[in-house]
Amino acid sequence: MGKVFFTPDRQVEVVYKVKDSKFYGNISRVDSEEEVRKFINNIKSTYHDATHNVSAYKIGEGDRALKYSDDDGEPAGSSGPPVLRAIEGEGLTNTVIVVTRYFGGTKLGIGGLIRAYGNTARLAIKESGKKKLTLQYKIKVLTNYDKLGTVLGQSEAFHSRILSTEYENDRVVVTLRINPDFFTKFKDVLIELTGNRVEVKKSGEVYI
């Protein structure tokens, strides 16, 4: 079924107290930077009177992963990076966490902040639970009308999922989702069976 990753199972909020400070940890699955921005802005709006709203997120995997953390006024490296390390340390992707702090009057020091923000993030992850995500390639197959049956037949043989079939002039465009492990073989088989009267190209990646 392709490479498996993990994402938060559900959106939750946890509360973690350290000395006189109170930390609220909010976690959610996100599949785009737009969803990240909406989630962070919503938390900042809800806790607009907080001392800090520290955030971190990760979307995707490998060299193309999008990762970011924000200390939001805390000493550099004391808050956002520990939250991001918690996300990566738990093997999560497509994840955003916002840790909101209400300062209680007692300074925690750099080490204390690192522990507090990291612990709040890990508590949120534990409370949310993990859900498996499988990476799939989204691909487009362009061919002639008379080869459509071959494309559809091989799509079924390779356990792909047809997302759409569109007709453009004298050609057909089939959009489907397939296990990355099958992509190259699927492409080679279609080229062979259609006498190279087909164009197969990757158009994106999705997690299901």
| HEC string for 68-84 | EEECCCCCCCCCHHHHH
Structural domains in the chain? Answer: 4-128 (3.30.230.30), 134-207 (3.30.70.240)
pTM higher than the cut 0.85: no
Most confident segment among 94-98, 106-110, 166-170: 94-98
For residues 152-180, give the mean pLDDT: 93
Query: Model confidence at 20, in pLDDT bands (50, 70, 90)?
Result: confident
- Identify which of 89, 75, 88, 79 has the alpha carbon closest to the alpha carbon of residue 120: 79
Percent of the chain past pLDDT 70, that is, above it, reads: 99
Could you give the CA distance from residue 81 to residue 91 in angstroms, rounded to a whole number? 15
Q: Which residues contact 64 (CB under 8 A, 6 or more apart)?
A: none
Amino acid at 161: R
Could you give the CA distance from residue 141 to residue 119 in angstroms, rounded to a whole number? 47
For residues 15-23, give the mean pLDDT: 94
Could you give the CA distance from residue 81 to residue 35 in angstroms, rounded to a whole number? 20
Return the residue matching tokens 């930390």. 23
pLDDT tens per residue across span 44-66: 999 999 999 999 999 988 888 99
R_g of the chain computed on alpha carbons? 23
Percent of the chain past pLDDT 90, that is, above it, reads: 84
Residue 150: the pLDDT is 94
For residues 65-73, give the mean pLDDT: 95
Q: Which residues contact 126 (CB under 8 A, 6 or more apart)?
A: none
For residues 191-205, give the mean pLDDT: 92
- The answer to whether the CB of 121 falls within 8 A of the CB of 97 is yes
pLDDT tens per residue across span 109-137: 999 999 999 999 999 999 999 999 888 99
Res 1 pLDDT > 60: no
The three-point CA angle 73-76-81 to 5° equals: 100
Could you give the CA distance from residue 147 to residue 122 in angstroms, rounded to a whole number? 52
Residue 104: the pLDDT is 87
- Identify which of 22, 16, 31 has the alpha carbon closest to the alpha carbon of residue 124: 16
What's phi and psi for 19, nearest 5 deg?
Answer: 55, -120
- Rounded to the nearest integer, the mean pLDDT of the chain is 93
Q: What is the DSSP string of 137-163?
A: EEEEEEEEGGGHHHHHHHHHHTT-EEE
Residue 3: the pLDDT is 64
Structure tokens at 24: 């609220």
